[in-house]
Amino acid sequence: MLKKTFLAPAKINLCLHVLGRLESGYHQLAMAMQRVDLYDDIQIQLGGLPGTRVVCSGAKLLEGEENIAAQAARLFLEETRIDIGIDIEIHKRIPIAAGLGGGSSDAATVLLGLNEMSGEKLSREKLQVLGGKLGADVPFFVFQHPAWATGIGTRLEALAVLPEVAYLLINPGIAVSTAEVYRSLQLTKGGELANLPRFSVVSREDLRAALYNDLELVTLRRFPVIAKIKQILLDQGALGSLMSGSGATVFGVFADIATASRVGKKLAAENGWWVYPVRPL
């Protein structure tokens, strides 16, 4: 039996524009995404009994066939026509329903891991296509690069230059339903991607100016603590702050990881929030 452990990183949205609703039920998006060094551990073992099994420690997740990691494994087997037993063990560190893409990252990491362990059966482009069948954020994690994402989030263009910063992630312990946030969103934009300013970020000031999230107002109405966290981060010297995805995680932008860590310790002690200083990937 072959066994290997892979790291599944979290992501943050540096900006998120919702341009309209599509007939498919998905939304037309334009967003900048970046992976950060907060990881779930994904252990994959090939061999043993037939079938795909997933267990998860560190969080309450759907286990077995309905887990998105199991779906990813099954999809990979169907595409490659490999007949082998797969056991997956997930150790969660990324909060669930937090706007950090943990489930999508787990699924992408299973696709990448199985591809590596089976001798690179599929191209990166094909893995992205498979990922799109599992969820709109999965192709981004297969892409493995900061990206400007359009369409439903699956059309990806690499962002070549981003400033050197650190981020402080804060979650007040609230789980947010992405589907419910999108259902509550009042769309006001005309749906024209060309009308958006180009995401061109070189300096820290450029990054601060680019921070934007159309979903923030919806989640703020339900959870005012998010606005409080944003303001506290700014008061503690963050260069900018934003809610990631549909929330409820908020991040602050800091010049270096030492400053982010110092502020994180202070805010965790004072408020009991989950905090995690991270570097961009």
Q: Which residues pair with 167 in a beta bridge?
A: 253, 278
Give dist(CA 106, CA 110) in Å, integer: 6
Q: Give me the residue label for tokens 């893409």.
A: 101
- Residue 60: active-site member: no
Q: Give me the residue label for tokens 């680019």.
A: 210
- Residue 137: active-site member: yes
Give dist(CA 228, CA 53) in Å, integer: 41
Which residues, at least 6 apart from 124, have a Cβ–Cβ distance to it below 8 Å? 142, 143
Joined tokens for residue 78: 């169907």
Joined tokens for residue 140: 């981004």
Give the active site residue among 106, 137, 214, 230: 137
Joined tokens for residue 12: 């943050």
Contact 83, 46 (CB under 8 A): no
Give the active site residue among 11, 40, 92, 214: 11
- What is the DSSP secondary structure assignment for residue 48, as one 8-state letter? S
Give dist(CA 159, CA 150) in Å, integer: 13
Joined tokens for residue 267: 């805010």
Catalytic residue set: 11, 137
